[in-house]
Structure 1
Amino acid sequence: MDFEPDQEQRALAERAFELGATLNDGLPERVRAGRFDRELWRRCGEFGLLGLSVPTADGGLGLDSLSTALVIESFAKGCQDLGLLFSACAHLFACVMPIAEHGSAELRTRLLPKLVSGEWIGANAITEPEAGSDVHALRTTAIRDGDHYVLNGVKSFVTNSPVADHLLVYARTSPADGHLGLSAFVVDRHSPRLTVGARFAKPGLATAPMAPVYLDDCRVPAANRLGPEGAGSTIFAGSMAWERSCLFAAYLGAMDRQLAQTISHVTTRKQFRKPLSRHQAVAHRIADMKLRLEGARLLLYRACSRRDRGVDSTLEVSLAKLAVSEAAIQNALDAIQLHGASGFLSEGGVVDALGDALPSTIFSGTSEIHRDLIARGLGL
């Protein structure tokens, strides 16, 4: 199966790389401060990054999964700020795409142009203190009251919540109906009785702001519900299919950039009167880094291709997500080892890739969850 990009895909990917490479100025200071840069966000919106997969009728580029992944990978290869790209992907796949695919005409017209352009920022609020991998254990409720719903609950680890304009909140409208009782609502960040808590400090993805969200009798117009009552599980599954494939293309780009930097280091750094690369142990470690990267890339491209052909891709998406996330951690560890003591210094930036990679085996479904999905796909 050939995944070689065509001329149009290649041109867009090259433009994404060029844009990403212009967004690295001041990165060490942003990372140390954990600062989200709204001007960089606006530039991403101008390029189209925040609406890659959104239909053209709603202001997006209308790209399929594979084209979207190619662009994200190229952007990450040029941009060293993986936190910025993580925020953009969380915005696009977990908030904007559900609105594009399930929102009413009024919601799409009112929200999507500003979300796609970068004027507004979106967030997804589903995880709770007692509901992580088990999303059906959600305790947040949404009780109908005339033309509104009243939401009560606590959401944790909400990416973009400190800077978001709108949040996609999942809540139980019918607790007795299990996964069929979950619904999704677009909630204005400035709604009365919605509070965003203190930002979390993180060792990676530092420029992607994250905080808990508290809903205390928060009234939301019924018109802001996506789809019918009880459609929340279907909406969430669709957003995860986008996220688990296309978002993880960012780690492919980051690993590609990391590999090139590491090869440059081992071919110029000398020990025992010869370049490090001439030592078999070093060369083999580089070979393993390349093997993990290319294997993960092929799995992800295959998953995206199957999605675009309308074929059930649950197994392929889990294989790709698992391979990419675990490769990102191991390659980051190898890069640190091959850079020696300098690889452990914050100033060099090598160690930052490990902090960025570590959460990749947790969000969008833990590695354990994806191994369960793979086993289930094999009939086990």
Structure 2
Amino acid sequence: MDFSWTENQNELYAKVLALAKEKLNSSAKEPEMAQNLWHLCGELGILGLCVPKRYGGMGLDALTTTRVIEAYGRGCEDMGFVFATLAHLFACTMPILEYGTELLKEAILPQLCSGEWKGANAITEKEAGSDVFALRTKAVRDGKSYVLTGHKIYVTNAPLADVFVVYASTNPTHGYLGITAFIVEKNTPGVIVGKPFSKMGLDSTFASSVYFKDCHVPEGNKLGNEGQGAQVFQSSMQWERACLFAAYVGMMERQLEQTIGYTRSRRQFGRAISKNQAISHRIADMKLRLESARLLLYRACWLFDQGKNPVLDVSMSKLAISEAAIQSSLDAIQIHGGIGFLTEFGIERGLRDAIPSTIFSGTSEMQRELIARELGL
């Protein structure tokens, strides 16, 4: 078993880490600044890591993609922006790559990979959260087009998005086999984007509701065949659960480095607090969580690249990383004491950004359900 990286993989990691630290730590909370940062991510290749070069991507496999994203999450301290760009890649770009027609791919993928366009995934509804295929949004065929009607919530990137991957029921009697995925551009009549949500974390991720009112979508904008939407979504979630959470591994490594540095410089009772066993053992636990999560991540992505069934390993990786990120963020706050609680120092932001990681891309409860199912329980 070889745990080493190739020279090219190491160069990519170092390049993205350095440029993320240098260029991607400006505030992405303002739309104008966010647009500049999206273009920078396009230039770095982050928005098309696993997209073939002919469509403007880098053509990387899942494991190399994960390694680069780890550097991205370590270098960029704005996890809201990191999450927004990676949701764009895995939940919008990859479904188009894997299920779109050649015409759609040629027209849309270069725009998404460059950052000129931003993508969003619209599947969640009020009654379709963890039960994701209990959709009420309908798509009714009308000649050579479909008419979409429905309401989506928690749509990441919706206020900025140029294109949406929308899931709707084309045959309600067939359940999840009656779901179809569509590409819908923002200027399509009948698309109404709601006001951005105010959230406890991931501040730079713009999200809102999206309404579809008698929205006509050309037949050519289908992803895959009619009734194949469940497969399209599951494939995108495998990519997202496998690779996106590498950013939280990067965040935990940055968090650990910052915490170690603080404990070495902070002195109480005549010595550095790192010499106190209560502190050093808490840091040891942070390191253990980080490395355990990292190994699960790498194995899941390796299986993905080998074409083997990765569901069990991807679910374990996602679960381990998201829950480790919360606990290590709590440890970092505790070790920093009073300043860990103050927003001006940014220590507490790690916790606020980590909490939603146990909710999006499938809750921790759903990951445990998937793990149990794969074990035959």
Could you say whether these structures have the same fold, taking a TM-score greater than 0.5 normalized by the shorter chain as the test? yes
Partner-residue secondary structure (3-state), 1:326 = helix
**Is 1:197 paired with 2:202?**
no
Q: CA 1:274 to 1:163, structure 2 compared with 1: closer, same or farther past 3 Å?
A: same
Partner of 1:282: 279
State which of 36, 39, 57 in structure 2 corresponds to 1:39.
36
Q: Which amino acid aligns with 2:329?
A: A
Q: Any conservation in 2 of the 1:98–1:239 contact (CA below 8 Å)? A: yes
Q: Distance in 2 between matches of 1:84 and 1:354?
A: 16
Q: CA offset at residue 85 of structure 1?
A: 1.1
Instruction: Return the letter of the residue paired with 2:16.
Output: A
Q: Distance in 2 between matches of 1:99 and 1:247?
A: 18
Deviations along 1:280-306, one digit per CA (max 9) or x if unpaired, are 000000000000000000000000000
- 1:7 correspondence with 2:7: yes
Give the counterpart letter for 1:11 in structure 2.
E
Which residue is equivalent to 1:252? 249
Determine if the alignment matches structure 1 residue 233 to structure 2 residue 230: yes
Report the residue type matching 2:6 in the other structure: D
- Equivalent residue number for residue 302 of structure 1: 299
Contact 1:36 1:208 survives alignment (8 Å): no
State the SS of the aligned residue for 2:23.
coil
Provide the aligned C-alpha RMSD in A.
1.2
State yes or no: 1:169 paired with 2:166: yes
% of aligned pairs identical? 55
| Counterpart secondary structure, 1:136 | coil
Deviation by residue 1:254-273 (Cα, 9 ceiling, x = unmatched):
00000000000011101111
How many Å separate the matches in 2 of 1:227 and 1:322? 29
Partner of 1:321: 318
- Equivalent in the alignment of 1:138: 135
1:113–1:24 Cα change, 3 Å: closer
Q: Which amino acid aligns with 1:288?
A: D
Tell me by how many angstroms 1:36 deviates: 6.2
Aligned residues of 2:25 and 2:77 also touching (Cα < 8 A) = no
- Whichever residue aligns with residue 124 of structure 1, its letter is N
How far the C-alpha of 1:25 sits from its partner, in A, is 4.6
Partner of 2:105: 108
Where does structure 1 lack aligned partners over 5 or more consecutive residues? none
Q: 1:7 to 1:82 in 2, by over 3 A?
A: same
2:46 to 49, 54, 67: 49
Residue in structure 2 matching 1:157, options 154, 159, 164: 154
What is the one-letter code of the residue matched to 1:96?
Answer: T
Q: Which residue of 2 aligns with 1:210?
A: 207
In structure 2, what is the equivalent of residue 120 of structure 1? 117
Aligned-partner Cα distance in 1 for 2:273–2:165: 50
Seen in structure 2, the aligned counterparts of structure 1 residues 23 and 223 have a Cα distance that, compared at 3 Å, is: same
Correspondence for 1:17: 17
Select which of 62, 73, 83 maps to 2:70: 73
Query: Which amino acid counterpart does residue 305 of structure 1 have in structure 2?
Result: W
Correspondence for 2:264: 267
* Alpha-carbon displacement from aligned partner over 1:18-57 (angstroms, at most 9, x marks no partner): 1211235543xx55x6986100100100111000011122
2:137 partner amino acid? T
Whole-angstrom distance in 2 between the partners of 1:36 and 1:365: 30
Are positions 1:99 and 2:96 aligned together? yes
TM-score by length of 1: 0.97
8 Å contact 2:188–2:215 — kept in the other structure? yes
Instruction: Note closer, same or farther for the CA distance 1:26–1:91 as it changes in structure 2 (3 Å cut).
Output: closer
Query: Is the alpha carbon distance of 1:178 and 1:92 closer, same or farther for their aligned partners in structure 2, counting shifts above 3 Å?
Result: same
Deviations 1:111-160 (A, max 9, x none): 11111111110000000111011011011000000111000110000000
Residue from 360, 375, 379 that aligns with 2:376: 379
TM-score by length of 2: 0.98
Deviations 1:189-226 (A, max 9, x none): 11111100010011211001000000111111111001
Distance 1:327 1:294 in 2: 10
Secondary structure in structure 1 of the residue aligned to 2:210: strand
SS at match of 1:22: helix
Q: What secondary structure sits across from 1:37 in the alignment?
A: helix
Is the alpha carbon distance of 1:353 and 1:370 closer, same or farther for their aligned partners in structure 2, counting shifts above 3 Å? same
Task: List structure 1 segments (4+ residues) > 2 angstroms apart after TM superposition.
Answer: 1-4, 23-27, 33-36
AA of the residue aligned to 1:141: K
Is the 1:36–1:209 contact (alpha carbons within 8 Å) kept by the matching residues of 2? no
User: How far apart are residue 180 of structure 1 and its match?
Assistant: 0.8
Q: What is the deviation of 1:81?
A: 1.1
Is the 8 Å Cα contact of residues 45 and 117 (structure 1) preserved in structure 2?
yes
Counterpart Cα distance in 2 of 1:88 and 1:26:
15
* CA-CA distance at 1:84 after TM superposition: 1.2
C-alpha distance in structure 1 between counterparts of 2:124 and 2:23, whole Å: 30
Segments of structure 2 that go 5 or more residues without pairing to the other structure are none
The amino acid that maps onto 2:22 is T
Contact kept, 8 Å, 2:25 with 2:76, in 1: the verdict is no
